[in-house]
Structure 1
Amino acid sequence: MTQPLPPGLLISAPASGTGKTTVTLGLLAAFRAQGLQVQPFKSGPDYIDPAFHTAAAGRVSVNLDTWAMPRERIAALARASEGADLVLAEGSMGLFDGVARPGECGAGASADLAALMGWPVILVLDVSGQAQTAAAVAMGLARFRPDVRVAGVILNKVASPRHQALVRAGMEAAGLTVLGALPRSAHVALPERHLGLVQAEELPRLRQILSDAASFVTDNCDLTAIRTAAQGGHVQDARGAGRVPAPGERVALARDAAFSFVYPHLLTSWREQGATILPFSPLADEGPDPSATACWLPGGYPELHAPRLAACDGFRNSLADFARTRPVHGECGGYMALGQGLVAADGTRHRMAGLLGLETSFAKRRMHLGYRLARLAQPCAGFTAGTLLRGHEFHYASILSQPDAPLATVVDANGQTVEETGSVRHFTGGGMASGSFFHLIGPASSGDLS
């Protein structure tokens, strides 16, 4: 049985850095101001953009990933759009950019998601430094795949009325509809740091930024035409499909400015299975709830808060007591926090929780980015040994020492072995500490480590 979806659009671009996040936020906030219920989605693995989407739309943004998720899981997650008037999904990188070896139901490209869900694409084009040539680029994107339909374009960084007229003439000749033309503007720009945008919760001016973005888009785009271009697809009714096992019945979840990278679909899945989520703040020197049966430290920015974390003896002692009898798991930043020490960019070493022997450093920076396929060597976080998991890695930390037993065998999307295997340590009281730079998206329904 198929399930109808509200009409939707996917906002994409020829490349990263063209302004598609600003356009997406402006559209979400503008349509919300009109009284519409707008459901945001994000194509691919990303924590930061969806937090901004959620603030702009007033509805939780959900990640959909064709490399890491089977179509049944995507269909189940798409149910977040129930009750919405419109769906707006933000793409990642360029429209057709993905990995060389397909995953569950695609290569992770935004185009794969648009084709799967039946969403027309709006292209955001940075036209600075060009005029009619922008139409050639857009026409190439529009004709590249017959199963992906480009509904129109929004021009960004238009220099002048004359510049806009030239670009529009090129688009008309190419048969492409111009849905908006945004002049150069810096007042709605979002600040960035090394993993992308600064987190939404860190911006005291967020409400004003979103209001400015809504006004900017409303004044320079045809909102009626954009909404009219949206189309609704159908997905198989997949209630409960692709659930991610909860790590315990009562999960103590680290949640503050240092530990905030956790996917909404994981928490939703855990709750659907009856798990209770018990948030706590390591930065406030809090430890996991004593009634919890498992503890989860998400990724985030522990390096920005390392001196404060090092001084949190209450957190460190409580976590050590907890780990003696129950499982503690850390992802990326959470993994680093479970280690012995973290060396900041200035070379200063800060003491961490010490549950694992891991030593990491930001003084020796190297980007680690991409999809990951991992086979667990030991039971962990609700999964049995041998389980195949899909996820991703994105950090700049270097491993100085990783002496504990490896948690998993890990390869990238091309099947190349990855040295960041994670690690695990067991304690005499029956507890354990485990962690990895691997951000879990979900169990794999297919794939191998060759």
Structure 2
Amino acid sequence: MRGLLISAPSSGTGKTTVMLGLLRALVEDGLVVQPFKSGPDYIDPAFHRAASGRASYNLDTWAMGAGLLDAIGQRAEGADICVAEGSMGLYDGVATRGQTGFGSSAETAQRMRWPVVLVLDVGGQAQSAAATALGFRNYMPELPFAGVILNRVASPRHERLARLGMEKAGMPVLGVLPRRGDLTLPERHLGLIQAVEHPDLDTAIAGYAAFLREHVDLEALKAAAQGASMRPGGALPKPPAQRIALAQDAAFSFTYPHLLEGWHAAGAEILPFSPLADEAPDPTADLVWLPGGYPELYAGKLAAAARFRAGLRRHAETRPVHGECGGYMALGQALIDKEGVRHEMAGLLGLVTSYEKRKFHLGYRRARLHAALPGYQPGDHLRGHEFHYSTILEQPDAPLAEVRDADGNPVPETGSFRGTVSGTFFHLITEEEGAA
């Protein structure tokens, strides 16, 4: 499992641009490249897939046990090289240990033995950037470290000074990227826009690849790749039903790839449908699953989608329906958009949410179920992640679970259920390994 992990001291340094350009450049060189994402991100993997042609999978040491990490690592079978993208800063995680760690990108690199490529924004400094790089390398001496890519370099003089600092620190410089304002991906309130929404994603990625090929030593990067042996064993999550009607469009797209892979591998049938196109779920489905996404951007269109809402209600009369985050909001009574306009949703739950009254919710979640959730039973312990800006105005239904954050503090977003319908604000990652 030879590979590299692309990381940075913090968010916003350009590592996603480097990641996408590197994936495409390696593919152009004839390599089979397996992408991964460290941490609980459901947007970046779709960009990775567009750049590499292979599905990208999350590796998360807080949420995932050793068995699931091993099973996900096996998705690299047949690849020539793995490239993983870190999240936030290299060492950023939570304070309380999870299933196998604290959720940092450094833990992912250490477990997989992938050398770190540190993307450094050297804007506003020169030799001083070497002190940052040296501190990151020495903070965890046992962590494999390949070198640095200097980003947003202003001039040849700036490059020379920054290189002098790296030479003094003994830090290999694998690339130097000039400052270019046109190499940023469009963003919104949860980070990058979705890959399916980008107006010309393939052209953008091709541009990143050409930029990296011009300014990065690709051969040095290939030579720096290392890795642990692939670990046998472990299993991906089992499907919650045999025939699963899965909402998939610009309003509902946040599903972790390892879940879908596990469902497919176990023989489940995924039956995609688009609420935005006013499509009803397949009437033969055993389960309807509404992932997270951006329903607040399409609330009016969802409120007018009569066939979709009628199909949901017919299904819920006899079979389960589950929603996560945005999908949970769409199952509720109403959604109030940022302008304060109330839009009627499916009405299968009493939940009323508001995007006018924004409140930031972000973090890992550990849930103990009070009631059944498709594929799981009361008392099961689940791990997931919550990230949204919506506020609950009304939640009259029974709570679905006792939910706590990574440090064990109670979280008021408990999810809820009514009859065959359930929903959570956290995105499910997996069931705890070895939980009673």
Asked if Structure 1 and Structure 2 have the same fold, meaning a TM-score greater than 0.5 normalized by the shorter chain, the answer is yes
| Paired amino acid for 1:402 | Q
Residue deviations 1:311-332 (CA, integer Å, cap 9, x gap):
0111111100100100000000
CA separation in 2, counterparts of 1:192 and 1:447? 38
- Report the CA distance shift for 1:195/1:142 in structure 2 as closer, same or farther (over 3 A): same
User: Shift in Å at residue 446 of structure 1?
Assistant: 5.2
User: Shift in Å at residue 121 of structure 1?
Assistant: 0.3
Query: Counterpart of 1:439?
Result: 427
Query: Counterpart of 1:175?
Result: 170
Query: Counterpart of 1:199?
Result: 194
Native 8 Å contact 1:390 1:444 kept in 2: yes
Residue deviations 1:123-143 (CA, integer Å, cap 9, x gap):
000000011110000000001
CA separation in 2, counterparts of 1:114 and 1:397? 34
CA separation in 2, counterparts of 1:442 and 1:327? 19
1:62 matches 2:50: no
CA separation in 1, counterparts of 2:280 and 2:115? 47
Query: Counterpart of 1:47?
Result: 42
CA separation in 1, counterparts of 2:73 and 2:235? 12
CA separation in 1, counterparts of 2:359 and 2:390? 6
- Report the CA distance shift for 1:286/1:299 in structure 2 as closer, same or farther (over 3 A): same
Query: Counterpart of 1:429?
Result: none
Query: Counterpart of 1:211?
Result: 206
Which among 368, 376, 379 is matched to residue 383 of structure 1? 376
1:420 matches 2:408: no
1:15 matches 2:3: no
1:261 matches 2:262: no
Query: Counterpart of 1:111?
Result: 106
CA separation in 1, counterparts of 2:149 and 2:10? 14
| Paired amino acid for 1:362 | Y
Residue deviations 1:161-206 (CA, integer Å, cap 9, x gap):
0001000000000000000000001222100000000111111211
Native 8 Å contact 2:71 2:236 kept in 1: no
Q: Which runs of 5 or more structure 2 residues have no equivalent in the other structure?
A: none
CA separation in 2, counterparts of 1:342 and 1:113? 38
| Paired amino acid for 2:187 | E
Query: Counterpart of 1:363?
Result: 356
User: Shift in Å at residue 207 of structure 1?
Assistant: 1.1
How large is the Cα RMSD of the aligned pairs? 1.0
SS at match of 1:284: coil
Query: Counterpart of 1:324?
Result: 317
| Paired amino acid for 2:14 | G
| Paired amino acid for 2:423 | G
1:350 matches 2:343: yes
Taking structure 2 as the reference length, the TM-score comes to 0.99
SS at match of 1:137: helix
Q: 322-331 or 79-88: which moved more?
A: 79-88
The aligned runs of 1:11-160 (5 Å cut-off) are: 11-160=6-155
SS at match of 1:329: strand
Residue deviations 1:57-110 (CA, integer Å, cap 9, x gap):
011111110001112211111111111111100000000000000101110000
1:333 matches 2:326: yes
CA separation in 1, counterparts of 2:371 and 2:21? 45
- Report the CA distance shift for 1:150/1:447 in structure 2 as closer, same or farther (over 3 A): farther
User: Shift in Å at residue 227 of structure 1?
Assistant: 0.5
| Paired amino acid for 1:74 | L
CA separation in 1, counterparts of 2:371 and 2:69? 28
User: Shift in Å at residue 287 of structure 1?
Assistant: 1.1
Native 8 Å contact 2:6 2:119 kept in 1: yes
User: Shift in Å at residue 208 of structure 1?
Assistant: 1.0
CA separation in 1, counterparts of 2:155 and 2:426? 46
1:292 matches 2:306: no
Which among 388, 406, 409 is matched to residue 395 of structure 1? 388
Native 8 Å contact 1:51 1:200 kept in 2: yes
Identity %: 60
| Paired amino acid for 2:239 | A
Q: Which runs of 5 or more structure 1 residues have no equivalent in the other structure?
A: 427-431
Residue deviations 1:205-261 (CA, integer Å, cap 9, x gap):
1111001100110000000001100002124201xx243232211111011111000
Q: Provide the aligned length of Structure 1 versus Structure 2.
A: 436
Native 8 Å contact 2:74 2:230 kept in 1: no
Residue deviations 1:250-275 (CA, integer Å, cap 9, x gap):
11101111100011111111122221
Taking structure 1 as the reference length, the TM-score comes to 0.96
CA separation in 2, counterparts of 1:360 and 1:36? 47
Native 8 Å contact 1:103 1:447 kept in 2: no
Native 8 Å contact 1:157 1:184 kept in 2: yes
| Paired amino acid for 2:39 | G
Query: Counterpart of 2:157?
Result: 162
